[in-house]
A and B are shown apart, each in its own frame.
Chain A
Amino acid sequence: GAVVSQHPSWVICKSGTSVKIECRSLDFQATTMFWYRQFPKQSLMLMATSNEGSKATYEQGVEKDKFLINHASLTLSTLTVTSAHPEDSSFYICSVHGTSNQPQHFGDGTRLSIL
């Protein structure tokens, strides 16, 4: 069964809209979740590391004021793309990290299309 649930799977909205994406860990409590982004024909690129109860750690070049991450509980992290523009259109995917000896488990991703 699924380990990670990501919602919504597909969003189309107008430029300037803010979009919230949810990532839920179904099988275990996750102190750390990761948010990746994938542009067509490119690799998955880590955007930020979401830490339960503390501020997210953003990768270089990722605007923290534009991509708001909240990890309020051990099973839920949210990514909000604020004032989205067409260049933000991408595939956003979260992963959950269990113990140090276990691989990351990924959600099914969110296809975001900004018109």
Chain B
Amino acid sequence: DQQVKQNSPSLSVQEGRISILNCDYTNSMFDYFLWYKKYPAEGPTFLISISSIKDKNEDGRFTVFLNKSAKHLSLHIVPSQPGDSAVYFCAASASWGGSEKLVFGKGTKLTVNP
């Protein structure tokens, strides 16, 4: 049973437009959510995170929105740039024995077309 779901395996947008990547989760114990970006043959790179006490966190072109009641979060990238083309993973964590165990979605491949 997948606890973190990214239902869109791929997304294609034009340069300069907004990219919206979605993520749903099922475990109400999750209280910390992260987005990672991954290029081929590289490890995931941390992008932005949000705590469950917030509903929005912004960092430059990247904004993450959290809707706890819907157990849904989204990553907005605006304006999108060709260099943003990568696989984006949503991850969630809860206090499992005090560790920061991360549960990942399957990822969404974003392609930004020039």
Interface residue ranges, A against B (CB under 8 Å):
4, 6, 9, 32, 34, 36, 41-46, 49, 57, 93, 95, 97, 100, 103-109, 111
Answer whether residue B28 sits at the interface, using C-beta atoms and an 8 A cutoff.
Answer: no
Answer whether residue B30 sits at the interface, using C-beta atoms and an 8 A cutoff.
Answer: no
Q: Note all chain B residues with C-beta closer than 8 A to A43.
A: 2, 4, 89, 103-107
Interface residue ranges, B against A (CB under 8 Å):
2, 4, 9, 34, 36, 41-46, 49, 89, 97, 99-107
Complex CA gap A109/B36 in Å reads: 15
- Shortest beta-carbon distance from A30 to chain B in Å: 12
Out of A9, A42, A44, A46, name the residue touching B44 (CB < 8 Å).
A44
Q: Note all chain B residues with C-beta closer than 8 A to A108.
A: 41-43
Is B102 a contact of A104 with CB atoms below 8 Å? yes
Query: Nearest CB to that of B102 among chain A residues?
Result: A104
Is B99 a contact of A32 with CB atoms below 8 Å? yes
Question: Which of A32, A36, A41, A44 has the largest number of chain B CB atoms within 10 A?
Answer: A44
- Interface on chain A toward B: helix, strand, loop, or mixed SS? strand
Is A105 a contact of B46 with CB atoms below 8 Å? yes
Query: Nearest CB to that of B99 among chain A residues?
Result: A49
3 closest residue pairs by CB, A with B: A106-B43, A43-B104, A103-B46
Q: Note all chain A residues with C-beta closer than 8 A to B106.
A: 41-43
Query: Nearest CB to that of A10 among chain B residues?
Result: B41
Q: Note all chain A residues with C-beta closer than 8 A to B41.
A: 9, 108-109, 111
With contacts A103-B34, A103-B49 known, is A49 near B101, CB below 8 A?
yes
Given contacts A44-B104, A105-B46, 8 further A-B contacts (CB under 8 A): A4-B43, A34-B102, A41-B9, A44-B89, A49-B101, A57-B97, A103-B49, A104-B46
Is A97 a contact of B104 with CB atoms below 8 Å? no
- Shortest beta-carbon distance from B105 to chain A in Å: 6
Is A109 a contact of B46 with CB atoms below 8 Å? no
Out of B44, B97, B100, name the residue touching A100 (CB < 8 Å).
B100
> What would be 11 A-B contacts, judged by CB atoms less than 8 Å apart?
A32-B99, A34-B101, A41-B106, A44-B89, A46-B101, A46-B102, A57-B97, A103-B34, A103-B46, A104-B46, A107-B43
Is A93 a contact of B100 with CB atoms below 8 Å? no
